[in-house]
Structure 1
């Protein structure tokens, strides 16, 4: 297999991104000028076309890179929940999926050098068997299947040679990519988002840190009745190599084709894992990506990839839970006070509590409404629009809000979890599940009872 060189020059990569950004800016100006004479329906259609153009340019910009670009494709995957016209959505999702799955084609001889250098031993001395064909391609590395001398089957995650330098070059261009994003989501805080993305992605370059994250969750969920986080082989994990327990199971596409009961069960497990990690344990994977979990033959769900990880301070989690309680109870004044005191409103006096409540519920109603709901893909689309899009009735007020960097990935996790549940068309009373961490209520589902018994131990 030919080696695909990973470019690290910022100049060449900047030129590619700059030309795309300039082209999009010109299109936006033309759209704005033409809008002056358009009907409301025409303006909406023009906005949709602009979204499609910008989204395609972002995919093209990221696709020219080989470092952080693939990971940025995951970080920004809220594009996948429908901020492009419906008739183009399936095609665009394929493009974005290809971007997320894309990876440099690096010869195994080069990957082998990384493994042996990191483990300071020949491959044959460390592993009893090693399959040279990768079983998965990650954004900054590849995953291989191997067998240890004690016959344990393991997954070996290996970083591409030279990818760290490529990531650093990509991060210098992050501002330009985010400005393209801002044309789709004008409410985006570019500076805060850039700071948070840089921090998280630099962390991902260190597999020892990822191993630490995975170990923490593996301990939390050890012997859990339906959640599996593979064990890490600490003695064989280094900065550029991570070895963990091998797990297998059905991927997301297979689960989507399952019956309603299967999809509902997996949906509840996904919801409990991502929301539960955040609100129960204050540490969570920031990447609820369909490729990051597997339905195992015994019915448990295994969760993978903890490079994009966040630990939240207790006071911020409490602030968010207080916000959710105020929202569910319809207490607009209390919600306003929480946001004002928490620094989420630049000029609190300019905000009407009732409008703030309406905006908040438009983004969270699906898990704050005490009803059984079947989620659909379009729900995530509408929530994304209500959160950041010019089509939102709340857009004028959103521009005067500020989202602290610590909250950015929490909102992303909520939205992308919703997107996954929508694609599964999962049905449940999501609020009754959320009440377990919001109010400390007893569970009302069979899975909830199993989990309560697990935590009581």
Structure 2
């Protein structure tokens, strides 16, 4: 096929994507707008319609929808509940198509580069699917192969996201979503770059190398491209299989999760921004669960060290009732025009997120709260208060930090872990300083050929 023909195909695919997503989104948006204008309460019905409209599509729009559902009170509760039901499973590519895709990535002799390759996927997700394989030496491999034309799909979906967020700003201007759209766009586009994801995996292997409770797969660069990522296959069980295990095992897994998330952040200002339960499995030794495998590295957020300084400042400010330090933390993150009333509103949410870290006792992450309701009451309080004192623009860095913190808390709730989160957190920030963090981050990023994200 000639380059003009390929470009025409890409244009056709993009146009079809715009039309399909646009029709689905526009119909639901129109119902949302009319219900708001005429005072009709049809939230539940519209929420189900929106989930159905998005759930029928293969590609990143599902990832975007799920992400929006995790941002506190960006969507009404009934919308968030429906969107969180969306699964990232997509219809897999058939065997013949997989062969063509693998040839496009590794050349016509691609099969000779593996000991074996299963043409049927072990898992299918929003941007690609994973195949089991073995190396020529017999090592077990996981080959993550991207679906075709995902770049066009991403751009079409993000254009519709801009429309949806603009509608949200007009109908409910309490939270300005303009920075949210920019952040989501940049991070989702990055997930298309498997060469970058390979660097992320290498970075995490470096950052978590001394933590026995967390395993990171090795990258096989000779079998990877920009749209094919080959890693070690890490055997493990679903983490929810252990929700009914003895409390000692559940706590051990929760500690592993805590370290997998907080240690890279405190050490090098890096977070794993996709706390989906499918991104972790549990490995066992001697017939007993010992820790977690961290499987996916597409959604990684690299912050400026001062952002971590803001996290520590807010923690210490809440701990000691120091309003100046609390205000400094919010300003460091990029919140503007902070009044005392607005700080009090933001502290409702901060008190919820930091609550387990501030109490020096063994507890669950949110005593008495069901996983599906985690953070809902506090989000409602914030939204209600902002109607009188807002609006507020959420800084872009806040989006994935907040999403990951809520997602991590939900995992702790599923495990019903009983830990002293305060002491775990204090151990992570014991030697914290901006200077030390800046130096360690620079070394880690340079070693993996990565840069700060804007």
Under a length normalisation based on structure 2, what TM-score does the superposition of the two structures give?
0.82
Aligned to 2:438: none
- Superposition pairs of residues 6-405 of structure 1, within 5 angstroms: 8-30=16-38, 33=39, 50=43, 52-78=44-70, 84=77, 96-97=84-85, 99-178=86-165, 187-222=174-209, 224-298=211-285, 299-340=290-331, 343-345=334-336, 347-349=337-339, 351=341, 357-375=347-365, 377-378=369-370, 381=373, 383-387=375-379, 389=380, 394-396=385-387, 399-405=390-396
- Contact in 2 for aligned 1:380/1:422 (Cα 8 Å): no
User: For 1:81-131, what per-residue CA distance to the aligned partner results, in whole angstroms no more than 9, with x for missing partners?
Assistant: 99747xx99xx57x744x323213321211221112111242321111111
- Root-mean-square deviation over aligned CA pairs: 3.1
TM-fit CA distance, 1:77: 4.4
Q: The residue matched to 1:300 in structure 2 has which SS?
A: strand
User: For 1:260-299, what per-residue CA distance to the aligned partner results, in whole angstroms no more than 9, with x for missing partners?
Assistant: 2221111121122112222222112100111110111221
- Superposition pairs of residues 427-442 of structure 1, within 5 angstroms: 427-440=418-431
Q: The residue matched to 1:374 in structure 2 has which SS?
A: coil
Q: Which ranges of structure 2 fall in alignment gaps of 5 or more residues?
A: 1-11, 433-454
Moved more, 336-345 or 137-146: 336-345
Q: 1:57 to 1:274 in 2, by over 3 A?
A: farther
Aligned to 1:41: none
Moved more, 187-196 or 292-301: 187-196
Q: The residue matched to 1:145 in structure 2 has which SS?
A: strand
Q: 1:349 to 1:170 in 2, by over 3 A?
A: closer
Q: The residue matched to 1:232 in structure 2 has which SS?
A: coil
Aligned residue among 406, 425, 432 for 2:397 = 406
Q: C-alpha separation between the residues in 1 aligned to 2:149 and 2:279?
A: 25
Q: 1:28 to 1:364 in 2, by over 3 A?
A: farther
Q: C-alpha separation between the residues in 1 aligned to 2:13 and 2:251?
A: 42
- Contact in 2 for aligned 1:70/1:103 (Cα 8 Å): no
- Contact in 2 for aligned 1:175/1:190 (Cα 8 Å): no
Q: The residue matched to 1:65 in structure 2 has which SS?
A: coil
Q: C-alpha separation between the residues in 2 aligned to 1:62 and 1:398?
A: 34
TM-fit CA distance, 1:20: 0.8
TM-fit CA distance, 1:54: 4.8
Count of aligned pairs? 413
TM-fit CA distance, 1:256: 1.6
Q: C-alpha separation between the residues in 2 aligned to 1:161 and 1:340?
A: 42
Q: C-alpha separation between the residues in 2 aligned to 1:338 and 1:397?
A: 23
User: For 1:325-379, what per-residue CA distance to the aligned partner results, in whole angstroms no more than 9, with x for missing partners?
Assistant: 111222223212433465413x234537656545531342122222221235537
Q: C-alpha separation between the residues in 2 aligned to 1:53 and 1:261?
A: 43
Under a length normalisation based on structure 1, what TM-score does the superposition of the two structures give?
0.81
Q: 1:189 to 1:355 in 2, by over 3 A?
A: closer
TM-fit CA distance, 1:394: 3.8
